[in-house]
Amino acid sequence: MNSVPEHIVGRYVERTPKSQAMNERARRVMPGGNTRTGVHYAPYPAFMVQGSGAYLTDLDGNRYLDLLNNFTSLVHGHVHPALNDAAQKQLAKGTAFASPMVGQVELAEIICERVPSVEQVRFCNSGTEATMLAARAARAYTGRSGILKMRGGYHGSHDLAAATADPEADRGIPDGLRQNIFFAPFNDLNAVKSILAEHAREIAGILVEPVPHAGGVPLPRDKYLAGLRALADKHNVLLIFDEVITLRLSEGGYQNIADVVPDMTAMGKIIGGGFAVGALGGKRDIMSQFDPARKDRILHSGTFNGHSVTMAAGIASLQNLPQAEIDRINALGDALASGFDDAFKEAGIVGKTTHVGSLIQVHWRDGEIYNMDDVADGFRNAGELPYLLHLAMLHRGIYAAARGEYNISTVVNESEVHRAIAAFNESLDELKPHIAEQYPALIAAS
Ligand SMILES: Cc1ncc(COP(=O)(O)O)c(C=O)c1O
């Protein structure tokens, strides 16, 4: 290995001594020093201590433009005055009451109005709980146990969501559950067709993220989502959209863009105004299974479900996210993605982005990216490059996910997008000698 990576890592360590010390302290009391797999990166993550608008400050006082936004939940950046004010006002009135609360009704009304497929809503505390509830509701409604999901898709961390097509990777997930999961590659209608032809009577629902986000943002092929709808109808299987992330892409989520109406929709992130949230929405006859007055009700309780502060901030979040604002951040996302694509070309390095609106993913490969196997292929060929690029971008004051995932909040402006693109250009230039030496296949033919 030549000196470039060491230089990049060394420079990071030099700038973050307090994070390094805190990481050592953290490792004594938390496995690996943190409590969330996705925020870890080597040599240790910077500890963020303050957010303000579009910026984050770490323990050592380094300032970053935040293009991660707590993995998309902070669609209005940090300490947005309207969200903050709403939360503060509710805090002053008390946090949680063991009763239904007015804020729950108000947020549910806003969601039902925005998302046409959603007639009723059930709140919970995370996207994980939302997809877990969706599966339970589908099973109760159909009387079947199986769930068909897409290979490499991410739906949270409960057993069904975390199970992969690889039993070796699924430590701690019971075999009994695995037997009720069917996997198809994303964007492959024929695979779904043949699974349903053989197993429809065992399958309660198809769980799919309309654009898999952690799955690398492969776009759904034309008619793919409509095809899933048709197959679900044909076999009396429920179609569940996981819009925990993609809800931000239009007022009515990606289902509005695709013009496909699922039976249930899992939501989270932006509907909580920065606080822990999840929600399941759907057709009235499916959702009514949660009606506590029904003898055959599905039990769904939770001390913090529909938390009053979350509801207040969530209402402010959606009120400040009309279609015009969504269009604006989607356009900024387009600009960031094409700037990154141009940077790869200018640097003569093989790489590209996939993106939809304000969601962008960097790949170390070219060619079409249809599903998560294609995405994994790019990462496999790139070794430590995503991690080095991440450190190089941090050095230039740009914060994103270590795996190359970026998103735009409403408090980011055009010049900040240009700054991120300039940082990307410089970072690729800096990495190029290392790539040429270690990954010659990633140097573009001139
Ligand atoms: C598509 C999708 N579904 C579900 C979840 C789980 O949400 P949470 O982290 O709130 O449990 C996530 C989290 O990123 C997600 O991206």
pLDDT tens digits, residue range 333-361? 999 999 999 999 999 999 999 999 999 99
Residues 311 and 398 in one domain: no
**Arithmetic mean of pLDDT, 203-231:** 98
CA quadruple 105, 73, 357, 128: dihedral sign: negative
Q: Which of 69, 73, 147, 244 to mutate to test the pocket of ligand 1 (most atoms within 8 A of CB)?
A: 244
Residues 239 and 331 in one domain: no
Residues 137 and 264 in one domain: yes
For the cut 90, the answer to whether the pLDDT of residue 168 exceeds it is no
Distance (angstroms) between ligand 1 centre and the Cα of 248 equals: 13
Share of residues in the chain with pLDDT > 70 (%): 99
Distance (angstroms) between ligand 1 centre and the Cα of 156 equals: 5
Domain that residue 194 falls in: 82-319
For the cut 80, the answer to whether the pLDDT of residue 232 exceeds it is yes
Domain boundary among 300, 319, 338: 319
Residues 57 and 206 in one domain: no
pLDDT of residue 2: 43
pLDDT tens-digit series, residues 107-144: 999 999 999 899 999 999 999 999 999 999 999 999 99
Q: Which residue's CA lies nearest to atom 16 of ligand 1?
A: 245
Q: Which CATH number covers residue 195?
A: 3.40.640.10
Distance (angstroms) between ligand 1 centre and the Cα of 346 equals: 35
pLDDT of residue 222: 95
For the cut 80, the answer to whether the pLDDT of residue 257 exceeds it is yes
HSE-CB of 125 using CA atoms within 13 angstroms: 8
Residues 224 and 184 in one domain: yes
CA distance 115 to 256: 8
pLDDT of residue 268: 98
Q: Which of 255, 269, 405 to mutate to test the pocket of ligand 1 (most atoms within 8 A of CB)?
A: 269
Secondary structure element (H or E) that encloses residue 150, with its range: strand 146-150
Query: Would you give the distance in Å from CA 65 to the centre of its chain?
Result: 19
pLDDT of residue 165: 84
For residue 71 and ligand 1, the question of a CB distance below 6 A is answered with yes
Residues 89 and 173 in one domain: yes
Domain boundary among 284, 319, 354: 319
Residues 27 and 70 in one domain: yes
CA angle 51, 114, 309 (to 5 degrees): 40
Note the maximum CA span of the chain.
Answer: 70
CA distance 99 to 85: 24
CA quadruple 364, 369, 371, 373: dihedral sign: negative
For residue 156 and ligand 1, the question of a CB distance below 6 A is answered with yes
Residues 387 and 428 in one domain: yes
pLDDT of residue 167: 83
Residues annotated as catalytic are 154, 242, 269
Share of residues in the chain with pLDDT > 90 (%): 96
**Overall number of domains in the chain:** 2
CA distance 39 to 36: 6
Distance (angstroms) between ligand 1 centre and the Cα of 175 equals: 23
For the cut 60, the answer to whether the pLDDT of residue 3 exceeds it is no
Q: pLDDT averaged over the chain?
A: 97
Running DSSP on this structure, what letter comes out for residue 117? T
Distance (angstroms) between ligand 1 centre and the Cα of 290 equals: 22
pLDDT of residue 321: 98
Which one, of 250, 251, 311, lies nearest residue 279 by Cα?
A: 311
Q: Which of 128, 207, 255, 407 to mutate to test the pocket of ligand 1 (most atoms within 8 A of CB)?
A: 128
CA distance 86 to 112: 21
For residue 213 and ligand 1, the question of a CB distance below 6 A is answered with yes
Q: Read off the pLDDT band of 4 (50, 70, 90).
A: low
Report the number of secondary-structure helices (H) and strands (E) in the chain: 16, 14
Residues 219 and 290 in one domain: yes
Residues 88 and 220 in one domain: yes
> Which ligand 1 atom sits closest to the C-alpha of 127?
7
Which one, of 316, 280, 331, 286, lies nearest residue 112 by Cα?
A: 280
Domain boundary among 319, 349, 364: 319
Residues 135 and 281 in one domain: yes
For the cut 80, the answer to whether the pLDDT of residue 1 exceeds it is no
pLDDT tens-digit series, residues 290-318: 999 999 999 999 999 999 999 999 999 99
Residues 347 and 300 in one domain: no
In 348-384, alpha helices (H): 372-382
